[in-house]
């Protein structure tokens, strides 16, 4: 059963009966037993129950395929712990700087972005224009927050930020490109915020957000997940907690809407 569900992203009970040559009662008992153990899950699609296993790599409950694009994590848990501890308030100056804090723990999550690839006609650099060149054709990509559709910017010294608008050409936006490695990974292996992924906009909505900012032509859009650490800081022995978000690329604090 598990081997079958590992080969396929999802399977209906009819498909499982045909593939495994099992009667409906025996099949149902096996499915319910594996579900009770947390080995498999069910999802409703067009009025039909479909079964899936994380071992396939897919997350059909979130409409994610077997493999997705992921920014490589470069800030490991040890480094994130040190960076999180550095965010703790000392509680000095009679408490005017806030309660004294200690690091409770750090949590890794993979946050969703939309990457939009584009083609753009842009003025040639000044020196080339002096020699007679006028325009040049550029290709590249930019990244959008899935809920606010704000544009992501990135610099190694300051980390990730989101901006509502920019007067730049799309090809002049400084973002993750050239600073990170993007690889593919099983969707089921990522630590996701399910509601964020489930409530994501459609590709046409993201492309419209791109068109409202740039004159470049969007050629493709894809989901990309970026690793983010949350440092949970404990105040005065547990009287309260504060969260600080750190990107998993250079470890800088980031306000993630």
E strands of the chain, at which residues?
A: 11-12, 41-45, 48-52, 67-71, 101-123, 135-144, 151-155, 159-163, 182-186, 217-235, 240-247
CA quadruple 80, 85, 88, 91: dihedral, nearest 10: 180
- Tell me: pLDDT of 133 over 90: no
24 and 87 part of one domain: no
- Tell me: pLDDT of 126 over 80: no
Place of tokens 């703790």: 88
The pLDDT value recorded for residue 135 is 80
The pLDDT value recorded for residue 238 is 74
Q: What is the mean pLDDT of residues 60-65?
A: 98
Q: Which residues contact 163 (CB under 8 A, 6 or more apart)?
A: 150, 151, 153
Question: To which H or E segment does residue 115 belong?
Answer: strand 101-123
Confidence class for position 147, pLDDT limits 50, 70, 90: very high
Could you tell me if residue 16 is inside a domain? yes
143 and 33 part of one domain: no
86 and 193 part of one domain: yes
The pLDDT value recorded for residue 191 is 98
Q: What is the mean pLDDT of residues 87-94?
A: 76
Rg, Å, the chain Cα set: 23
99 and 173 part of one domain: yes
113 and 230 part of one domain: yes
Q: Decide if 141 contacts 177 (C-beta within 8 A).
A: yes
Region of poorest pLDDT, from 60-74, 191-205, 229-243? 229-243
Kindly provide the b/e burial profile for residues 73-97, where b requires at least 16 CB atoms within 10 angstroms of the residue's own CB: bebeeeebeebbeebbeeeeeeeee
The pLDDT value recorded for residue 127 is 52
Highest mean pLDDT (candidates 93-97, 99-103, 215-219): 215-219
Kindly provide the b/e burial profile for residues 157-168, where b requires at least 16 CB atoms within 10 angstroms of the residue's own CB: eebbebeeeeee
Does residue 106 or residue 94 have the better pLDDT?
106
52 and 111 part of one domain: no
Could you tell me if residue 216 is inside a domain? yes
Could you tell me if residue 141 is inside a domain? yes
- Tell me: pLDDT of 125 over 90: no
121 and 220 part of one domain: yes
The pLDDT value recorded for residue 255 is 97
Could you tell me if residue 138 is inside a domain? yes
122 and 214 part of one domain: yes
CATH number for the domain that contains residue 43:
1.10.10.10
136 and 33 part of one domain: no
CA distances from 57 to 65, 107, 115 (A): 8, 22, 21
State the angle between helix axes of 13-20 and 24-36 in degrees (0 to 180), rounded to the nearest 10.
Answer: 110
**Could you tell me the residue range of the domain that residue 86 belongs to?**
77-247
CA 95/CA 113 separation, integer angstroms: 38
Can you name the residues that pair with 247 across neighbouring β-strands?
228
Confidence class for position 167, pLDDT limits 50, 70, 90: confident
Could you tell me if residue 70 is inside a domain? no
- Tell me: pLDDT of 44 over 90: yes
Could you tell me if residue 218 is inside a domain? yes
The pLDDT value recorded for residue 151 is 98
Which of 81, 78, 73 has the alpha carbon at shortest distance from 191?
73
- pTM beyond 0.75, yes or no: yes
Q: Decide if 225 contacts 110 (C-beta within 8 A).
A: yes
Could you tell me if residue 48 is inside a domain? yes
CA 89/CA 118 separation, integer angstroms: 43
32 and 134 part of one domain: no
Q: Decide if 232 contacts 106 (C-beta within 8 A).
A: yes
Annotate 10-21 with DSSP letters as a single string.
-EEHHHHHHHHT
The pLDDT value recorded for residue 171 is 94
Helix then strand then coil, in percent of the chain rounded to 5, is 30, 35, 35
189 and 129 part of one domain: yes
Q: Convert the pLDDT of each residue in 5-20 to its tens digit.
A: 999 999 999 999 999 9
- Tell me: pLDDT of 179 over 60: yes
99 and 49 part of one domain: no
Give the count of domains, the chain. Answer: 2
């Amino acid at each position: 059963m598990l081997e079958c569900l590992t080969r396929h992203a999802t399977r209906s009970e009819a498909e499982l009966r045909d593939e495994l040559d099992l009667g409906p009662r025996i099949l149902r008992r096996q499915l319910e037993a594996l579900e009770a153990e947390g080995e498999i899950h069910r999802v409703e699609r067009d009025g039909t129950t479909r079964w899936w296993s994380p071992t396939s790599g897919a997350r059909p409950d979130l409409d994610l395929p077997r493999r997705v694009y992921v920014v490589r994590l470069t800030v490991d848990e040890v480094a994130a712990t040190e960076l999180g501890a550095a965010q703790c308030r000392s509680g000095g100056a009679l408490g005017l700087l806030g309660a004294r804090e200690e690091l409770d723990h750090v949590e890794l999550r993979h946050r969703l972005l939309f990457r939009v690839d584009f083609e753009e006609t842009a003025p040639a650099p000044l020196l080339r224009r002096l020699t007679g060149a006028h325009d040049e054709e550029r290709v590249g990509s930019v990244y959008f927050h899935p809920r606010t559709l704000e544009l992501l910017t990135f610099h190694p010294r300051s980390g990730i930020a989101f901006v509502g608008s920019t007067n730049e050409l799309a090809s002049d936006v400084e973002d993750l490109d050239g600073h990170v490695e993007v690889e593919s990974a099983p969707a089921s292996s990522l630590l996701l915020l399910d509601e964020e992924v489930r409530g994501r906009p459609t590709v046409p909505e993201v492309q419209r957000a791109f068109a409202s900012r740039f004159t470049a032509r969007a050629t493709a859009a894809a989901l990309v997940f970026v690793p983010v650490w949350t440092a949970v800081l404990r105040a005065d022995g547990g009287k309260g907690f504060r969260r600080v978000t750190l990107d998993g690329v250079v470890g800088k604090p980031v306000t993630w809407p």
